Structure 1
Amino acid sequence: MRYNIFIFFTVLYSLSGVCQISDIQNIQKDFTAWSKYQKEQIFLSTDFLPIDENSKVISKESFLTILAEGNFIPIKISDEQNQIKYQLYKILPSSDTSIRATIAQIAFDELHNYKMEGKKFPDFDFKDLEGNSITNKSFLGKITVIKCWYIHCTFCIKEFPQVNALFDKYKSRNDIQFISLAEDNPQQLSTFLKKKPLSYSVVPNMKTYMNEALSLNAFPTHFIIDKNGNILKVLTNFESLELALDKVMKEL
């Protein structure tokens, strides 16, 4: 069979029974098609079962490392239990080179973030725009959600309505708090937030801390911190944040 014949994949593997996969050629036909699929189906920040190209379960770190090399795409596989599974598939030679570059960069960032999980959130002692002191001790006994952003980050601002809704969802609970770290100075933030309100506590002048202590590669980035001040999850978009936070809060 010629490699470029239109193929619709239905994949069987022993771990979970029958699983259907979208047409891999269509997903890779151009960058727009891939971008749409990735946005709707691929959330590498979340918990998932990583499957290699030979249908073998591997570690998440290995999965992300392979993706960061730029030769594979992740494909979502669903099953009867609705557990999230992603499998590696080789990028077709005819694929847009932008797909390869984008996957590699995303996987590189996600691998960096994944390696932060389980570690203590770096020491800090800041004040928010209201003058409230925020330190590592502020984290103890509560789940803490942190959003890292800056005024000119389009994606950071676009998700404001969603993160505000998430804040409203949990604001009646006394075991969770929401904090944001922003690159901008207090005057810039005060002016901006009058037009674009953010329900989180806002800490200004965080550019150096986010670059050096957190080594962030992309914005927005969200952290979920446990009650002992350790990093539970590092997430790159609201959709992943919502899924992860709902899971954490249900388990308390």
Structure 2
Amino acid sequence: MQKSISLIIAFLIFTICSAQNKFGNPEVDPIQIQKNFSEWSLYQSKNIMLSRDFVALDLLSKEISKETFLNELTNGNFIPIRLKSDDSIYYYKLFKIDPNSDSSIKATINQIGFDALKNYKMEGTPFPKFSFKDLNGNEVSNEIMKGKIIVIKCWYIHCTPCIREFPQVNRLVEEYKDRKDILFVSLAEDNPEQLKAFLARKPLSYAVIPEMKIYMNETLDLNAFPTHFILNKEGLIAKVLPNFESLEVALAKESELKSN
């Protein structure tokens, strides 16, 4: 009996240690990274992808829900730091904001937390009904695209980050050109004449739907561009993403899930 208890205890210790070994120390010093807003901003933009799937951890390294994590970033005094890990999973942990740090750091974190939380809450909900015509006169609607994965890019001509990722999203379209169950559509604020002149210089491989400003602002409630949506074959929002890097990862996962 005593031997059995010892084995159980040993097993529990092994399990706990294995779980702890999945991730290690922060990849940057949480205090040092707050010394300068520019350094924090650069780190955050390259390493903190809140739209991705990740394991969320509180101050004590206890796993919490993604929604709780994002809510803390939105309303609290925390910064997210990625932890080193031995696997491909992202581990983000909350750390306290240094009271002496630049106030812009907290303001920025609260904003990205707010945006990420709003996007996260859209996942699993139906994409609003739509029926529009693209620049070539083709009808684009929920019904016509039913049963397909739809990638939607929201943008406008004078959005520098939107245009900067054109080469990347065009390569993505090329990568999935043989997948007839995946469609690429873009919603643009600008009118047809402006778009045709612009796209003659800066081609975009997506179908382009013009004059979508009111739809994007009011129906989709967007306040940041670019924004990407991935809709699954049931017409539900699988992911809402702020940049190409997150889009590429999420589409690879969704296309793999739905390839059969």
Q: Kindly indicate whether the alpha-carbon contact (under 8 Å) linking 2:232 and 2:254 is maintained by their aligned counterparts in 1.
A: no
**Identity, % of aligned pairs?**
59
Q: How many Å separate the matches in 1 of 2:132 and 2:223?
A: 22
- SS class of match (2:144): helix
Q: Distance in 1 between matches of 2:78 and 2:246?
A: 22
1:15 maps to 19
Structure 2 residue matching 1:86: 3-state secondary structure: strand
Give the counterpart of 2:127 among 118, 121, 132: 121
Residue 40 of structure 2: aligned partner? 34
Contact in 2 for aligned 1:26/1:33 (Cα 8 Å): no
Contact 1:143 1:227 survives alignment (8 Å): yes
Secondary structure of the residue aligned to 1:216 is coil
Q: Secondary structure at the match of 2:19?
A: coil
Answer whether contact 1:16 1:79 (CA < 8 A) is retained: no
Deviation at 1:58, TM superposition (A): 1.1
TM-score by length of 1: 0.92
Instruction: Tell me which of 233, 240, 243 is aligned to 1:234.
Output: 240
> Per the alignment, in what secondary structure is the counterpart of residue 60 of structure 2?
coil
Report the structure, 1 or 2, having the larger helix content: 2
* Residue pair 1:67, 1:107 contacting (<8 A) in 2 also: yes
How many Å apart are 1:15 and its aligned residue? 3.2
Give 1:16 shift.
Answer: 3.2
Q: For 1:43, give the aligned amino acid.
A: M
Partner of 1:204: 210
| Structure 1 residues 169-208: aligned runs within 5 Å | 169-208=175-214
**What displacement does 1:139 show?**
2.7
Larger mean Cα displacement after TM superposition, 188-197 or 242-251: 242-251
Moved more, 12-21 or 203-212: 12-21
TM-score, normalised by the number of residues in structure 2: 0.89
Q: Deviations over 1:199-221 (max 9, x none)?
A: 00000010010111110121100
Question: Cα distance 1:28–1:41, how it changes in 2: closer, same or farther (>3 A)?
Answer: same
Structure 1 stretches lacking a partner, 5+ long = 1-11
Question: Per-residue deviation at 1:170?
Answer: 0.5
Q: Is this contact kept in 2: 1:149–1:220, CA < 8 A?
A: yes
1:164 maps to 170
Structure 1 Cα separation of the partners of residues 46 and 212 of structure 2: 31
Write the distance in 2 (CA, Å) between the matches of 1:13 and 1:31. 36
Alignment of 1:66-145 (within 5 A): 66-145=72-151
Shift of 1:13: 8.0
Q: Which blocks of at least 5 consecutive residues in structure 2 are unaligned?
A: 1-15
Amino acid at match of 1:251: L
* Cα gap change, 1:230 to 1:64, in 2 (>3 Å): same
- CA distance in 2 between counterparts of 1:250 and 1:158 reads 27
Determine the C-alpha separation between the residues in 2 that align with 1:148 and 1:185.
14
Deviation at 1:20, TM superposition (A): 2.1
**Which residue is 1:249 aligned to?**
255
SS of corresponding position for 2:93 = strand
Cα distance in structure 1, aligned partners of 2:170 and 2:137: 21
- 2:151 counterpart letter in structure 1: V
For 1:227 and 1:248, the matched residues in 2 are separated by: 10
Decide which structure has the larger Cα Rg and report it. 2
Structure 1 residues 246 and 55 mapped into 2: Cα distance closer, same or farther (>3 Å)? Answer: same
Measure, in 1, the Cα distance between the counterparts of 2:145 and 2:213.
Answer: 21
Q: Distance in 2 between matches of 1:41 and 1:91?
A: 18
- Which residue number corresponds to residue 6 of structure 2? none
